[in-house]
Amino acid sequence: MSIDPADGPRSVVVPAIDAPSSVACVRSLGKRGIHTIVVSEDDDAAAFRSRYAGETIVVPSPHDDLVAYKDALLALAMRPDVLTILPVREEDVYALARYREEFEPHVEAQWPTREGLERVQDRVQLFDAAERAGVAVPDTRLLDEVDDWDREWIVKGRYTLLADAYVDDYPPEKSRDPPSTQYLNGDKPDVETIRHQNGHTPIVQEFLPTTDEYAFFALYDEGEPVSTFQHRQVRAYNYAGGPSSFRESVSIPELGESGRALLGELDWHGLAMVEFLRNDETGEFELMEINPRLWSSLPFSVRAGADFPYHYWQLARGERDRIDDDYEVGTAGHLLRGELSYLHSVLFDDEELVERPDRREAFAEVIESLREHPRFDYLRLDDPKPFVRDALNTLV
């Protein structure tokens, strides 16, 4: 479909990051004649190389100056041809929600309010909402509240992004990701050291001995689901977990019920990836977190039929009734560099609390799945340059 320039704003701003989600957005929208304005702080962003990138613009890095990055997005939002902005990382959705009142006069704000976002980026508030919604959660406490260290715990940041709305001594222009998940094997840690490393008081969760990870993906409009998708993570970057490198689409009623119950309790607006672990003993889906923006495995969602970038565009244009909320169950796909990262972890990593897979079996499983399911996040014959650029970026 080609968009008539006279038919209202026809451009979408797409931040380009080092995850496949940006390339998936550019391809989904660009092939339909929708003008993409691709922005990044990196001249070598893979999405800049896509044949479907309408414009490429270098902007300040949100890691260096979040306010300057916001101002760059706002300047683009003020262009009369721009309809909306797609959030692909935590800094994107934070800047858009934190300064929502500045963006609203110019573009369709398809993201949560500042208060709505805080209920998700603050994991304490998120798990409280999950309990109210009747969604299963692992035992979760603030670090200061733990007194039984003989159990197996994991440490996570309380906030999915450290920024001024959450951390008192942060100026508006500063932001950073919290440290990676830390595994505790039953010995009392140095609490003050952990608090200092995190830059705030993090949360502690009981360790669930399973790698059976699932996700419920959705686009919501003022508390109502518009488009949904589910997948099971078969492998991740690391054998202990992390972003997915190989996944398959599923349709599990209980998973959908949990995801909808939580997002309904939050009166959600915008995009969301709700992550769960399936408890081996109870069979329940226990909440891990919500990513309130597009997710790194987005190319697979699109390939399975859940075209969230296009659905986002349709919703922004007031065409909710034209959105096709359907997808193909039983398909599977890979991120090739994620698979290499997984195999590297099997060879060299030694993760506490998680047993290392048999090396020979791990390699055989990866090779067999590549043969059976030749679907890839970056690699596309009709648009090969993003794959080449991402490979070069990974090697440098």
Could you report the per-residue pLDDT of 71-108, keeping only the tens digit for each?
Answer: 999 999 999 999 999 999 999 999 999 999 999 999 99
Domain that holds residue 97: 11-118
* Tens-digit pLDDT profile for residues 157-215: 999 999 999 999 999 999 999 998 888 887 889 999 999 999 999 999 998 876 689 99
Please provide residue 264's backbone torsions phi and psi, each rounded to the nearest 5 degrees: -65, -40
Can you tell me the mean pLDDT for 338-344? 95
CA neighbor of 340 nearest in space, from 248, 234, 245: 245
Query: pLDDT-derived band of residue 252, with 50, 70 and 90 as boundaries?
Result: very high
User: The domain spanning residue 359 has which CATH number?
Assistant: 3.30.470.20
Distance CA(11)–CA(338), nearest Å, equals 31
Last residue of a domain, one of 206, 233, 251: 206
Instruction: Tell me what pLDDT residue 354 has.
Output: 81
Which tokens go with 391?
């490979």
Regarding whether 106 and 235 lie in a shared domain, the answer is no
Distances from the Cα of 247 to the Cαs of 217, 261, 330, in angstroms?
13, 24, 10
Within-domain flag for 123: no
Question: 297 by DSSP, 3-state: which?
Answer: coil
Which tokens go with 10?
């026809």
Regarding whether 296 and 166 lie in a shared domain, the answer is no
Instruction: Tell me what pLDDT residue 3 has.
Output: 42
User: Given the structure tokens 């999950």, which residue do they identify?
Assistant: 130
Other CB atoms closer than 10 Å to residue 224's CB: what's the count?
12
Regarding whether 356 and 304 lie in a shared domain, the answer is yes
Query: pLDDT-derived band of residue 254, with 50, 70 and 90 as boundaries?
Result: very high
Can you tell me the mean pLDDT for 138-145? 94
Query: pLDDT-derived band of residue 5, with 50, 70 and 90 as boundaries?
Result: very low
Please provide residue 104's backbone torsions phi and psi, each rounded to the nearest 5 degrees: -55, -35
> Residue 114 half-sphere exposure, CB side, CA atoms within 13 Å?
12
Can you tell me the mean pLDDT for 116-126? 98
Query: pLDDT-derived band of residue 1, with 50, 70 and 90 as boundaries?
Result: very low
User: Given the structure tokens 């099971």, which residue do they identify?
Assistant: 232
Position 294 pLDDT exceeds 90:
yes
Instruction: Tell me what pLDDT residue 281 has.
Output: 82
- Average pLDDT of the chain is 94
The conformation of residue 304, written as its DSSP 8-state character, comes to T
Instruction: Tell me what pLDDT residue 12 has.
Output: 98
Instruction: Tell me what pLDDT residue 7 has.
Output: 64
Cα torsion 162, 167, 172, 173: sign: negative
Q: Which amino acid is at 76?
A: L
* Tens-digit pLDDT profile for residues 367-378: 999 999 999 999
* Tens-digit pLDDT profile for residues 50-67: 999 999 999 999 999 999
Regarding whether 86 and 180 lie in a shared domain, the answer is no
Regarding whether 171 and 44 lie in a shared domain, the answer is no
Distance CA(30)–CA(28), nearest Å, equals 6
Instruction: Tell me what pLDDT residue 2 has.
Output: 38
Other CB atoms closer than 10 Å to residue 289's CB: what's the count?
16
Regarding whether 170 and 152 lie in a shared domain, the answer is yes
Distance CA(363)–CA(358), nearest Å, equals 9
Can you tell me the mean pLDDT for 317-327? 96
Instruction: Tell me what pLDDT residue 367 has.
Output: 97
Position 20 pLDDT exceeds 60:
yes
Query: pLDDT-derived band of residue 4, with 50, 70 and 90 as boundaries?
Result: very low
Instruction: Tell me what pLDDT residue 39 has.
Output: 98
Question: 17 by DSSP, 3-state: which?
Answer: coil
Instruction: Tell me what pLDDT residue 312 has.
Output: 98
* Inter-helix orientation angle 114-121/123-133, to 10°: 90
Q: What is the DSSP string of 224-274?
A: EEEEEEEEEEEEEEETTEEEEEEEEE---HHHHHHHHHHHHHTT--EEEEE
Which tokens go with 17?
């990051």
Within-domain flag for 255: yes
Count of domains observed in the chain: 3
Regarding whether 193 and 62 lie in a shared domain, the answer is no
Instruction: Tell me what pLDDT residue 373 has.
Output: 95
